[in-house]
Amino acid sequence: MGGAAAGTKWIHHIQRLSAAKVSAEAVERGQSRVIDASLTLIRERAKLKAELLRALGGVKASASLLGVPLGHNSSFLQGPAFAPPRIREAIWCGSTNSSTEEGKELNDPRVLTDVGDVPIQEIRDCGVEDDRLMHVISESVKTVMEEEPLRPLVLGGDHSISYPVVRAVSEKLGGPVDILHLDAHPDIYDCFEGNTYSHASSFARIMEGGYARRLLQVGLRSITKEGRDQGKRFGVEQYEMRTFSKDREKLENLKLGDGVKGVYVSVDVDCLDPAFAPGVSHIEPGGLSFRDVLNILQNLQGDVVAADVVEFNPQRDTVDGMTAMVAAKLVRELTAKISK
């Protein structure tokens, strides 16, 4: 990946050249200032928008977009780092309109607002490592949740971001949530290619952390023995595509979140058959149709407290941006689900 990511080495270079003059503490202080500044912009935008909604009154929950342009924890391609602006562009594309299928108005800030992106590449460019970066993502999510009635609708990014996002949601609400996870892959390896933050391991981290009571994985069709073993170990409810016709009735009538803090929905765009969504890193035939996914989401009963749409890779999309539109429509319909 080009741009800022290539620049993460400059800081080590300077340190090598002048070890005595640039102390680790000075670097750390500078990094903290950059992180604070990044969080401040998100906080102030969330505050402004939420204050207006509170002044208006009568809004219980409003979806708020938070972009997390992170791609370096992918085990394959890093293009998902470039997804959030492409998804936003497609949400507001003139080829469609601002109404969701059931008639909610996306232009209405009581339904949808936007607090911008976490500046992932800019923070990494300052030499910030993943432990800390993941905490910045968690802090950003908590910052949005701090401002009622905003609820985070996160634009990925590769799937590694779901771990810091769900951690923040659960910590902020003070208990576990139920998770509906749509994906071709279970992303539950204990560790993938040496990276515990890998996009293929995020749900192992979530389950270890105790952030989910139930985890339902739907759309699976690329699962290894470790994926199944880890699923059993954590009590995951894994629904595979090979039995989807049998499971359909149940999955299109889910009721989740009772007795816990709510429902979290994580949509990996590769849950869809690549015929519907070619712009993903991991092309895996035999997936869900777009209408299957909408049926599952629109009929879901439960209080959706936050959600993410991840793994859209604009670098693999068709020239007309078909998958951007698919990701955008997922975001639009999740917005309808969240807002009330």
CB nearer to ligand ARG: pick between 143 and 201: 201
Question: Is residue 110 within the footprint of Mn ion (CB under 5 A)?
Answer: no
Site map 245..284 versus Mn ion, x via CB under 5 A: -----------------------x-x--------------
12 marked as binding residue: no
Residue 185 annotated in ligand binding: yes
Residue 202: CB minimum distance to Mn ion, A = 7
Position among 125, 311, 317, 333 found at the interface with ligand ARG (CB under 6 A) = 311
Q: Is 183 a known ligand-binding residue?
A: yes
Quick one: which of 201, 216, 220 has its CA closest to 297? 216
d(CA 340, CA 335): 10
Residue 8 backbone phi and psi in degrees, to 5 = -65, -15
Closest approach, Cβ 146 to ligand ARG, in A, equals 29
The answer to the question of residue 125 lying near ligand ARG (CB under 6 A) is: no
Kindly report the number of other CB atoms within 10 A of residue 226's CB atom.
15
Q: Rounded to the nearest whole angstrom, what is the least distance from the CB of residue 311 to ligand ARG in the complex?
A: 5
Q: Residue 292 touches which of Mn ion, ligand ARG, none (CB < 5 to 8 A by kind)? A: none
For residues 97 and 46, give the distance between their C-alpha atoms in angstroms, rounded to a whole number. 25
**Residue 187 makes contact with ligand ARG by CB under 6 A:** yes
Site for Mn ion in 310-339 (CB under 5 A): none
By the rule CB under 6 A, 114 interacts with ligand ARG: no
Binders in 147-166 for Mn ion, by CB under 5 A: 159
268 binds ligand ARG (CB under 6 A): yes
Q: Measured from the CB of residue 284, what is the shortest distance to Mn ion in angstroms?
A: 7
Q: In residues, how long is the chain?
A: 340
Q: Exposure string (b/e) for 143-163, b if CB count within 10 Å is 16 or more?
A: bbbebebbbbbbbbbbbbbbb
d(CA 54, CA 49): 9
What's the closest the beta carbon of residue 199 comes to ligand ARG, in angstroms?
4
DSSP 46-67: HHHHHHHHHHH---S-EEEEEE
Report if residue 200 touches ligand ARG, rule: CB under 6 A: yes
Q: Check whether 135 is labelled as a binding-site residue.
A: no
> Mapped to the 3 state alphabet, what secondary structure does 96-158 carry?
CCCECCCCCECCCCCCEEEEEECCHHHHHCCCCCHHHHHHHHHHHHHHHHCCCCEEEEEEECC
Spell out the residues 6+ positions from residue 202 whose beta carbon is closer than 8 angstroms to its own.
159, 160, 161, 162, 163, 187
Binding flag, residue 270, ligand ARG (CB under 6 A): yes
Closest by CA position to 324, among listed 256, 269, 257: 269
Binding site listing = 159, 183, 185, 187, 268, 270
| Binding-site residue positions for Mn(2+) | 159, 183, 185, 187, 268, 270
Chain residues that interact with ligand ARG, rule: CB under 6 A: 75, 159, 185, 187, 199-200, 222, 268, 270, 282, 311
- Contact positions vs Mn ion (CB under 5 A): 159, 183-185, 187, 268, 270
